[in-house]
Amino acid sequence: MLLSLDDVKRVANLARIEVSEDEAHTTLAQLSGIFGLIEQMQAVNTSAVKPMSHAQDVMQRLREDVVTEIDQREMFQSIAPQVEMGLYLVPKVIE
């Protein structure tokens, strides 16, 4: 698969990462290298291999449904740039 400069910019925008024109070119080259590796791997016949979603072959551990957390709002909000009435304040977002 061939990656274009536009793809790189689009993904950067979706991830909210600011990239300059130069950085976009560098990133394109790096990502294309990674894509090359993936292409190599995809050439391997894996029809007999069970797909896995995680590198470790173990199952998810489950928690009992009990409330174990206490209210630590004050501590958490002590590092927030701005709070009011218990709310975290952020620059206005309207959709």
Residues near other proteins, by CB under 8 A: 11, 14-16, 53-56, 58-69, 71-73, 76-77, 82, 84-95
77 phi and psi angles, rounded to 5 deg: -80, -10
* Interatomic CA distance for residues 37 and 31, integer angstroms: 10
Q: How far is the CB of 81 from other proteins (least distance, A)?
A: 10
* Interatomic CA distance for residues 95 and 80, integer angstroms: 24
CA angle 9, 34, 6 (to 5 degrees): 15
Q: Which is nearer to other proteins, 22 or 63 (CB)?
A: 63
Q: How far is the CB of 82 from other proteins (least distance, A)?
A: 7
Q: How far is the CB of 61 from other proteins (least distance, A)?
A: 7
